[in-house]
Amino acid sequence: MCTITTQNKQITLLLSETIITRIMMFMCVPFLMIFLSNDFHFSATELSLIVGINPLCTVLFGPLGGRVTDRISRSKTLYLVPFFWGLVYISFAFASHFLTFLVLNGLNGICYVTYESTVKKVLSFNSTLENRKLVFNLRYTCLAIGAFLGPLLQLLVSNYSTAHMYCFLGITYLASAFLNKYFFKELPQAEETTQAKVGSHAPTTDKKSILLFLCFLSGIAFSYFAYAQFQSTVSLFFTSEIFGSDGSKKYSLMLSLNALLILLLQFPVLRMTRRFSPLKLLMVSNSLFSLSLLLIPQTHSWSIFWLMVGSLSLGEVLLGSNFDYTVDTFSTAENKGFYFGLSEMVRIGNTVGPIIGGLLIEHYTFEQFKEIFLILSIITLSGQPLLWFYGRKNKQVKTDLQR
């Protein structure tokens, strides 16, 4: 059986890989819509479909990808999935047709949900109940580091095209695959299951728990709907003629400042909010996402720009600090992969978000961005009733169990 030292090495490796791959990812993925618009002149609807197919595939294949991680050993999934994922990213550099980009970004989503479920499962298994939330937050910190450095480095290497950056991104995932193959030795499935039960604390799953979990995910999906706008509709706003010539630089600045604020705020906010329930914090997060969208049309003003970035960053911190940990409390040792895979249902918001944003742009035109972002802000707040309903039912379930 793996020792604690080996477990710590595996956690360190996965966190280190997260930083490197996310740096490369944020050097190209946020600029995908701009790249496709400038180089291939796809319509707003085609752009929205290409961006939206990724999270749609994570939703459709989430439970299946989670089941795969529960049935197949971690050593295989941690090697095979990033290897294939790397080849998918490299293929982006050689694509030129709408359908090709659509298929590639769909495969990208399938690889994402399978690999993410595996990584979260391994982090949960290799950590104790007492430090599990800290481990999840450390991974979120690694994501934020990548999101901060990626756009900055993209400005420094602006002579490289987005296509070249996708090649580099693919190579980092190929390297991760071979490192995982070396550090994660094959374990018998029975031994993995035994190891998984150490520190398990979740109740037995039943239909009511799954329905309650789906209600919770539906509410969170509206926060992801808002977040998706910042890589689609918001990027088109900043690079439009309405905003001006410096819009692209300001968009890159927004991405970097957002990630920097997340790094600065994450652990202070975690300490300050530890007395509050995760549900309340997730509801506050949803409200902050809504506010940030409402402020977008006024971001010509630097004061409003800073307020928007601050609202967005704090919303992300509260979401990232509480979501994965809450999902982990729903699962048992035997079905962690399934629950982490099913939790990707929230990315239906990422799918619907760009599509609705694109349709609103085509309906209202670029001159009516205030109306567009007002509608997007109101839609985001629709997650509040679902989260409130989940909280009410969850209290009833806990009360019934105590009787």
Q: Note the pLDDT tens digit of each residue in 270-288.
A: 888 888 888 899 999 999 9
Structure tokens at 281: 């914090």
**Residue 175 above 60 pLDDT?**
yes
Architecture of the domain delimited by 8-402: Up-down Bundle (1.20)
pLDDT number for residue 107: 94
**Residue 124 above 90 pLDDT?**
no
Lowest mean pLDDT among 125-134, 293-302, 378-387: 125-134
Q: Note the pLDDT tens digit of each residue in 134-156.
A: 888 888 888 888 877 887 787 77
| Strand residues in 129-176 grouped as ranges (E) | none
- pLDDT range class, residue 188, cuts 50, 70, 90: very low
Alpha-carbon distance 67 to 334, whole Å?
10
The residue among 152 and 114 whose pLDDT is bigger is: 114
DSSP state, residue 204:
P
- Per the rule left: phi > 0, alpha: psi between -120 and 50, beta: everything else, 84 is alpha
The residue among 284 and 5 whose pLDDT is bigger is: 284
Q: Note the pLDDT tens digit of each residue in 377-392.
A: 999 999 999 999 988 8
Cα dihedral sign, 285-287-289-292: negative
Alpha-carbon distance 229 to 102, whole Å?
19
3-state helix, strand, coil in the chain (%, to 5): 85, 0, 15
Contact 31, 150 (CB under 8 A): no
- pLDDT range class, residue 105, cuts 50, 70, 90: very high
The per-residue pLDDT of the chain, averaged, comes to 82
- pLDDT range class, residue 172, cuts 50, 70, 90: very high
pLDDT number for residue 396: 75
**Residue 63 above 80 pLDDT?**
no
pLDDT number for residue 201: 47
Alpha-carbon distance 26 to 267, whole Å?
22
Q: Note the pLDDT tens digit of each residue in 252-266.
A: 788 878 878 888 888
pLDDT number for residue 174: 95
pLDDT number for residue 200: 46
The residue among 192 and 102 whose pLDDT is bigger is: 102
**Residue 46 above 90 pLDDT?**
no
